[in-house]
């Protein structure tokens, strides 16, 4: 069976690279490369949105989380589902007349350039870390499935090479077209294989009697579960891949409807992955938690095992690609082009391709430091929470001074680093001290503005 898996993986790689090369001819300008010339239809926006949030974090990581924590791991994804509804409602404000490329533009419309640049760096750090998570998930899956043929490190490298190359060649248009392939493969494989496991083993019935596995908040507890949901809500609303996707749509209407439909596509796939993780806990109680989903391949007949395998590997690329291209857009448009004053579009296109490659390499190297996917994403995601706070304050009330917004973001970075260095994240999730700090600073800024206005 291992030979069949290897042949299937190679065939899938060929399909993806052929698709990427096919659309390279559409990426002949920087705008075409970074935002598909703002010409994508609703179906492509849908698969981009679905693919962004059906990734290694949501499939392999969700199965791992459910293996450890039970059904309560779904709180992690609930925040994203709510966030996508919020993004659709706020899309007109985010896009500002379709001039937006990145979070730099969103923050820059409210505050000064210094604040916008810091917000961009924070968003970039998170995007690169998410790409890293997809690469780690790829290594875990391929090393478990192809035992003795591919190591964990080789699996990570192969996953990175596959999606970095087709994105480097075809840009965001390649991301859209390959995500259409990925979503079809994911839906067929995960739903088909998952339902077989759930209905042909007695694992779920046994796990209903086990401690915390089917309790709404499980062993996480209410504070931790709600923290996960809340953090993902804040990271999802203004995430760079979603801004990239919305920027690439033909119209605001197609962008809004595509985001909502993509969200609906993602929900059942993630739920099935969580249930499979719980089933794996009963069937294979002593395996490493990161292997929960790959271990289930042995339960499936060959005609379901191969699409189930592809449905585990494809999400890592369907999510990694939008985050990779989002990071490229942010870096090129926000930092490289202004710094180097590049005006020739041909040169900027070459720089964009090179930037995609560099970000892919950096993400691969970071992969060797990952331990538990879900928890580590929620820690880094706190950087985005602070950005959402200052943007929403700017939208719903009178704008505060840019100085206070900048101090809010800078303090957030310090709090997150402090939490990591001294291990305080083990006791209090960083999102709560960051939330308290940011709103305190913004409150002082609001009060100072009011007093100055009265004088």
Rounded to an integer, what distance in angstroms lies between the CA atom of residue 71 and that of residue 425? 23
Cβ contacts of 54 within 8 Å, gap of 6 or more:
183, 186, 265, 266, 269, 270, 315, 318, 319
Whether the Cβ atoms of residue 245 and residue 259 lie closer than 8 Å to each other: yes
Instruction: Assess contact for 131 and 426: CB atoms under 8 A.
Output: no
Sign of CA dihedral 129, 185, 280, 82: positive
Residue spans of the domains in the chain: they are 2-375
* Residue numbers in the chain where pLDDT is lower than 70: 1, 97-98, 148, 370-378, 398-399, 425, 449-455
Q: In angstroms, rounded to a whole number, what is the distance separating the alpha carbons of residues 420 and 413?
A: 11
- Structure confidence by residue, pLDDT tens digits, 103-141: 888 899 899 999 999 999 999 998 998 898 888 878 877
> Could you confirm whether domain 2-375 is CATH 1.10.260.40?
no
Q: How far apart are CA 391 and CA 405, in angstroms?
A: 9
Buried/exposed code over 376-415 (b: 16+ C-beta within 10 A; e: otherwise): bbbbbbbbbbbbbbbbebbeeeebbbbebbbbbbbbbbeb
- Encode pLDDT of 341-384 as tens digits: 887 888 999 999 999 999 999 999 988 876 555 455 667 778 88
- Phi, psi torsion values for 27, nearest 5 degrees: -105, 65
């Amino acid at each position: 069976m291992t030979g069949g898996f290897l042949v299937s993986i190679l065939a899938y790689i060929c399909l993806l690279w052929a698709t990427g090369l096919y659309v390279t001819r559409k990426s002949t300008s920087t705008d075409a490369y970074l935002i598909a010339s703002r010409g994508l239809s609703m179906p492509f926006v849908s698969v981009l949105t679905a693919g962004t949030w059906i990734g290694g974090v949501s499939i392999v990581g969700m199965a791992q989380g459910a293996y450890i924590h039970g059904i309560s791991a779904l709180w992690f994804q609930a925040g994203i589902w709510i966030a996508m509804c919020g993004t659709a409602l706020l899309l007109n404000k985010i896009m500002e007349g379709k001039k937006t490329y990145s979070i730099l533009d969103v923050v820059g419309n409210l505050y000064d350039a210094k604040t916008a640049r810091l917000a961009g760096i924070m968003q970039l750090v998170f995007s690169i870390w998410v790409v890293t998570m997809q690469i780690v998930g790829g290594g875990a899956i391929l090393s478990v499935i192809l035992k003795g043929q591919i190591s964990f490190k080789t699996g990570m490298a192969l996953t990175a090479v596959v999606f970095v190359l087709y994105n480097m060649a075809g840009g965001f248009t390649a991301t859209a077209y390959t995500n259409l392939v990925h979503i079809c493969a994911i839906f067929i494989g995960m739903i088909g294989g998952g339902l077989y496991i759930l209905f042909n083993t007695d694992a779920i019935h046994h796990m209903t009697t086990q401690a915390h596995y089917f309790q709404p908040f499980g062993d996480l507890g209410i504070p931790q579960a709600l923290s996960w949901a809340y953090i993902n809500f804040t990271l999802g609303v203004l995430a760079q891949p979603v801004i990239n996707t919305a920027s690439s749509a033909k119209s605001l209407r197609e962008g809004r409807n595509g985001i909502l439909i993509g969200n609906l596509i993602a929900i059942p796939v993630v739920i099935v992955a969580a249930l499979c993780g719980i089933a794996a806990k009963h069937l294979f109680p002593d395996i490493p938690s990161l292997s929960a989903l790959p271990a289930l391949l042995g339960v499936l007949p060959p005609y379901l095992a191969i699409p189930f395998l592809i449905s585990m590997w494809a999400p890592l690329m369907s999510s990694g690609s939008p985050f990779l291209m989002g990071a490229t857009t942010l870096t090129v448009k926000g930092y490289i082009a202004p710094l180097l004053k590049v005006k020739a579009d041909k040169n900027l296109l070459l720089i964009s391709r090179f930037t995609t490659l560099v970000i892919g390499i950096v993400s691969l190297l970071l992969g060797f430091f990952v331990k538990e996917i879900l928890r580590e994403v929620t820690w880094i995601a706190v950087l985005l929470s602070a950005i959402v706070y200052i943007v929403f304050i700017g939208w719903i009330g009178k704008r505060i001074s840019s100085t206070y917004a900048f101090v809010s973001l800078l303090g957030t970075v310090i709090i997150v680093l402090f939490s990591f260095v001294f291990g305080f994240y083990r006791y209090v999730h960083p999102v709560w001290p960051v939330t308290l700090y940011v709103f305190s600073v913004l409150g002082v800024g609001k009060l100072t503005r009011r007093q100055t206005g009265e004088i």
